[in-house]
Structure 1
């Protein structure tokens, strides 16, 4: 199957394995965007484009350039950027915590920037599939979130780090290549399932299986999260 993919953060580990699996189909094309270029690029149809993925301003610049390029249509957007660290809060030059910029705000900005272009080029593309690689199993339900501290400024603790490390330990039980295979296979299978059910999203595990009993957020919670997200992103763009 021919796939036009943008893999953000795909310079090593699961992200790089996903990029290589897509590029193994000779008719497909893959762009990897991250800080550093991979040590080796095994396929001629993989292109590297540098991007500071924690910067909202540079994400804007990169996506605007991508949208005006001749390869502007996409089938798959894969977001794998992130870090595992035991350090505390560390702000970027845009006054956003670096970990939050990588794991959440930057990902949301990329999706928001690229989706309108997909719709404008509908004659080339019907659906953009977005694969967010982090943890589809865990996450607090809306009732247990601290809605007054979504940026985790007042309540950041090592317990959050511990939860992230548990996710990492689970992922280490599966090789990056096997995980990439599972995720891409699961993505294709689950996407077809949720489309038939009229849904727009689902959560899968490292084996590509559907995570059962995931609580869907209501319109009120989604609006709160969206308002918070774009307030932080817009402030970051102002501070850039």
Structure 2
């Protein structure tokens, strides 16, 4: 069966490696890679590039509307690996910090808008950090950090809110499992990967980063292999336990192993984060 995938952040690094692996598995696959800049090399004829500025909620909405405008399009995979390594302070795009837009808000908008096109057994993969977020440090009264912005705080809020939202989608789907909807939502921790993000570090840190990278990182292709294999395994495990007990969300580590100590959120907490997210995102779309 042909696999259709969208990979946002798929023009370099982990996303590009994941896109290439999906495309290489079968000539019948169709893989859309999206980001700001077209990669120098698109190695497979079943891959295509579509530009997207994933910091902009209005641009994401136009992108998803265009995809949905063609009747009958269905997705097997939605992979989102867009991100930035930056030491800059709060920098707003449409009222949202640019880093948080890439690491959290834009990912959630892509899921919301493309979910109607996702097949009943489709998979959604957020590549950010499904391992180290501290739920006790989530700032519930300032989720978008307009008053309390800091680099570590922004990173933690994005990690934890991504964790909460994969559980929210899985929980919302539970009522549909008897009708065959068993989509799986995954938040992946890639660990140390030698990607182009190192170029965004301050110039004085780059020599050290180049020296240490081969010692503490894996290649994007190795990371892609671990994550994609784990996604298939986790989805299969959920389906095997689908008699009203299936758990359709997973956090996985850099070797593809299931992270078993994640906080489980209640409906009120999930709805609080979801409502905040859509209020902010929809305002950003209007302003764009």
Distance 1:216 1:195, change over 3 A: farther
Partner of 1:211: 259
Whole-angstrom distance in 2 between the partners of 1:225 and 1:195: 27
1:87 maps to 2:88: yes
Report which of the two has the higher share of helix: 2
- TM-score norm. by structure 2 comes to 0.75
Match of 2:274 among 218, 226, 230: 226
1:29 maps to 2:30: yes
Q: Deviations over 1:67-105 (max 9, x none)?
A: 12267211000001110100000011x111111111111
Q: CA deviation at 1:160?
A: 4.2
8 Å CA contact retained: 1:194, 1:202? no
Q: Deviations over 1:90-124 (max 9, x none)?
A: 011x1111111111111100100011233xxxxxx
Distance 1:70 1:46, change over 3 A: farther
Query: Structure 1 unaligned runs (5+)?
Result: 119-124
1:152 maps to 2:145: yes
Partner of 1:121: none
Report which of the two has the higher share of strand: 2
Whole-angstrom distance in 1 between the partners of 2:137 and 2:9: 30
- After superposing on structure 2, the runs of 4+ consecutive aligned residues of structure 1 that deviate more than 3 Å are 158-164
Distance 1:114 1:202, change over 3 A: same
Q: CA deviation at 1:153?
A: 2.3
Aligned alpha-carbon RMSD (Å): 2.0
Distance 1:91 1:188, change over 3 A: same
Distance 1:146 1:202, change over 3 A: same
8 Å CA contact retained: 1:86, 1:161? no
Distance 1:221 1:161, change over 3 A: closer
Query: Structure 2 unaligned runs (5+)?
Result: 159-188, 195-216
Equivalent residues in 2 for 1:64-103, closer than 5 Å:
64-69=65-70, 72-92=73-93, 94-103=94-103
Partner of 1:170: 192
1:138 maps to 2:160: no
Q: Which has the larger displacement, 102-111 or 65-74?
A: 65-74
- TM-score norm. by structure 1 comes to 0.89
